[in-house]
Amino acid sequence: MIEPVFHFTLLRSTSIPSRVFSKVDLKALAAFVLTRQRVRGPVELTIDLTGHKRIQDLNRRFRGVDRTTDVISFRNAPPPALEGDLAINVQQASAQAKKMRHTTRREVRLLLVHGILHLLGYTDYEPRPRRRMFKRQNSLLRAWEKKHP
């Protein structure tokens, strides 16, 4: 498979322990997902690892929903270009990881995959598309983790 050429930016708008993420890991995972999803051409992806307050503000301003969430995706260019921003709530990821009995690092990876799938048009607002999206995200993450524990 040919990996898409992409520009990757990682922002941290909250303090995050280094064991939770690695820029190299997140960039490689994003490239893996894009390749597996057969994305062609240039891609520009910005990830903001953030907390409850900032993601709630983003959710309120751009979606009209005044509550925190785990990940928000913003597609900045119409297809076929892929240019987007993801905000991942690391505090929420940590809480969800505890509930699911896995690491925060794994949950951040899962949310990255989930956010990229949203950028690619997957939705999780209705049961059938949600099942499809979750099946795909879990399949991608398991495939990645076989070689990158």
Residue that the structure tokens 């270009």 belong to: 81
Is residue 2 very low, low, confident or very high in pLDDT (cuts 50, 70, 90)? low
Residue 28 CB burial class (10 angstroms; 0-12, 13-18, ≥19): middle
What is the arithmetic mean of pLDDT over 10-27?
Answer: 88
Amino acid of residue 43: V
Q: Tokens 């990821």, residue?
A: 93
Distance CA 69, CA 31 (A): 24
Residue 19: pLDDT above 90? no
Judge whether residue 10 has pLDDT over 80.
Answer: yes
* Model confidence pLDDT, tens digit, residues 35-89: 999 998 889 999 999 999 999 999 999 999 999 999 999 999 888 889 999 999 9
B/e letters for 96-110, b = 16+ CB within 10 Å, e = fewer, are bbeeeeeebbbbbbb
Q: Which amino acid is at 121?
A: G
